[in-house]
Chain A
Amino acid sequence: MHKNNPVKFDSRFIIAMVWLVATTGRAGDARYQVLPTEMATIPQDVYVPVVRGKNDPEKIPVRGFLLEVHAVTNAGFLNFVRSHPEWRRSVVSPIFADKGYLAHWKSDLELGSNASNDAPVTNVSWFAARAYAKWKGLRLPTTAEWEVAGGAGFDRAEGKIDPEMQKWINHWVDSPSPQILPAATSGRPDFNGVYNLHGLVWEWVQDFNTEMVTGESRADSGLERNLFCGAGAVGAKNRENYPAFMRTAFRSSLNACYCVGNLGFRCAKSIPEKSK
């Protein structure tokens, strides 16, 4: 330091330093306004599982419930991560999310060019999806709920008899996933006003670990008896619904910490019982 020119630490300098400190670590995309996601009412229905054990119910009644009209987006999930630092990619616990967690983002808090704001977030584990849902005061849908919602057509309540919906589903099941996903609200909403239960990404459900499908095609095989207690005589009852069977097989292959590039989620909410 020169004796004749002592450095002055005046208030402007202090303010500048404080501002620098305060803004460091918040690098990321410019604040993208994320509005709360609209929820559609899915009317009460009955879920017929495609694969079930001999003591599993053939039909599962599903009460009416609320479902987000589109999958959770990258921007929405970024908001969650911003307020929950333990869910940042660089520090997340490996038991809650594997190495693929948010792999398509540029960094902890930056989406980057491979993850558009409005596309469904993927590469999130069941634990991450569940934590996000909890943050919003919501939950994940159950398998039965998701499948009932997924049974809707475009122009009519029942998708099974809607040729446009059947074409859409079968086309997607046969196509490879695009590198960069389009917006969660792209395409047509279905009869309930819900976007892309089919056609974009697979989606987490609360109870995916109830599916116990092995590669073995014979019912009550030795392999199943060894790996699972009580899951004998599990068989595919409805072979015509190939996409539903695909979803069952896919869920069966998952572990809760898995982060997959074409697996996202959306949230649900129970409708409170009317007081009598």
Chain B
Amino acid sequence: MREIHTRKIKMNQLLILCCTSLLLNGFSHVMAADASASHGVLSKKSIYQTGAQWTDDNGKPFNLKKLSGHPVVLIMFYTGCQVSCPVIVEELKTIHQALPSELREATRFVLVSMDSGRDLPKELHKFREIKRLTGEEWILLHGSDDEVTELAMLLGMKIKEDSLGQFAHSNLITVLNKAGEISSQRTGFSTDLQQLVQAIGTASL
């Protein structure tokens, strides 16, 4: 009796083992995808999943994943821009002031330079001081050509450097939600900044 009982247990164990193996194999592609995300599992729609390495205007490495949990207003700009970027930065400052205090503390305004060659961290820091972008809510980033291109592509942003070192580029403001997914975008200019304030509110949900 004991012998048969032992065999039965072994058989059950083997059955469980084989079934689990088959199931795991079926799920392996999902696991492979998850394995590539780091600790906090990023949403598949999050632009933070590229793992791109940026440098902030203090020269410190900055991974966009740090922005998780915050609604984000993101633009690509360059310090030498004479036309749109100054206007957009002023708009961002206005929006920053217009946010209810809790939202103002939580929201991050991220300015990424498209001019990898000239807008090194020192330049970005100068820009921060000139424009009076005080506080940790303002983040200014420098990245390599490859990172800049990848981010521009993720945002749907067009950029072209001309022969004078000026850039033609889209006028684009992107709002990201707390998971780093694109929540909304504004192309072109608009006098209605309330829409953007509302968009940030939505992104904070």
Q: Shortest beta-carbon distance, B50 to chain A, in Å?
A: 9
Residue from A24, A127, A228 within 8 A of B169 (CB atoms): A228
Q: Are B189 and A210 in contact (CB-based, < 8 A)?
A: no
How many angstroms between the C-alpha atoms of A126 and B21 in the bound complex?
36
How many angstroms between the C-alpha atoms of A15 and B159 in the bound complex?
58
Residue from B18, B36, B49, B166 within 8 A of A55 (CB atoms): B166
Residue from B28, B49, B157, B163 within 8 A of A25 (CB atoms): B28
Q: Are A3 and B4 in contact (CB-based, < 8 A)?
A: yes
| Interface positions of B from 65 to 103, Cβ below 8 Å from A | 81, 83-85
Q: Are B81 and A229 in contact (CB-based, < 8 A)?
A: yes
**B5-13, B105-113, B116-124, B197-205: which lies at the interface:** B5-13
Query: Which size bracket describes the interface of B in this complex?
Result: 35 or more
How many angstroms between the C-alpha atoms of A1 and B25 in the bound complex?
28
**B53-61, B134-142, B148-156: which lies at the interface:** B148-156
| Interface positions of A from 2 to 46, Cβ below 8 Å from B | 3, 6-7, 9, 14, 17, 20-21, 24-25
Known contacts: A56-B160, A228-B171. The answer to whether A95 contacts B29 by CB under 8 A is: no
* A124 at the binding interface (Cβ < 8 Å): no
Q: Are B170 and A227 in contact (CB-based, < 8 A)?
A: yes
Main secondary structure of the interface of A (DSSP, over half): loop
* B158 at the binding interface (Cβ < 8 Å): yes
Q: Are B44 and A93 in contact (CB-based, < 8 A)?
A: yes
Residue from A3, A25, A210 within 8 A of B29 (CB atoms): A25
How many angstroms between the C-alpha atoms of A209 and B171 in the bound complex?
14
Q: Shortest beta-carbon distance, A135 to chain B, in Å?
A: 15
* A241 at the binding interface (Cβ < 8 Å): no
Select from chain A the residue with minimum beta-carbon distance to B152.
A209
How many angstroms between the C-alpha atoms of A210 and B159 in the bound complex?
5
Q: Are A9 and B163 in contact (CB-based, < 8 A)?
A: no
| Interface positions of A from 208 to 222, Cβ below 8 Å from B | 209-212
* A163 at the binding interface (Cβ < 8 Å): no
Residues of A with C-beta under 8 A to B170 = 212, 227-229
Q: Are A9 and B10 in contact (CB-based, < 8 A)?
A: yes
* A91 at the binding interface (Cβ < 8 Å): yes
Residues of A with C-beta under 8 A to B130 = none
* A88 at the binding interface (Cβ < 8 Å): yes
Residues of B with C-beta under 8 A to A88 = 29
Residues of A with C-beta under 8 A to B26 = 24-25
Q: Are B162 and A53 in contact (CB-based, < 8 A)?
A: yes
Q: Are B22 and A24 in contact (CB-based, < 8 A)?
A: yes
Q: Are A93 and B158 in contact (CB-based, < 8 A)?
A: no
* B132 at the binding interface (Cβ < 8 Å): no
Q: Are B36 and A86 in contact (CB-based, < 8 A)?
A: yes
Residues of A with C-beta under 8 A to B46 = 95
Q: Are A256 and B168 in contact (CB-based, < 8 A)?
A: no
Select from chain A the residue with minimum beta-carbon distance to B165.
A55
Select from chain A the residue with minimum beta-carbon distance to B188.
A226
Interface residues of A (CB under 8 A from B): 1, 3, 6-7, 9, 14, 17, 20-21, 24-25, 53, 55-57, 85-86, 88, 90-91, 93-95, 108, 126-127, 206-207, 209-212, 226-231, 234, 255-256
Cβ contacts A to B, 6 pairs, < 8 Å:
A6-B7, A20-B22, A91-B29, A95-B49, A226-B189, A227-B188
3 pairs of A and B residues whose beta carbons are closest in the complex: A229-B84, A256-B153, A230-B168
Known contacts A55-B166, A229-B85; can you find 13 more A-B pairs with CB under 8 A?
A3-B4, A25-B29, A55-B162, A91-B29, A91-B33, A95-B45, A95-B46, A95-B47, A207-B149, A209-B157, A226-B171, A229-B170, A255-B156
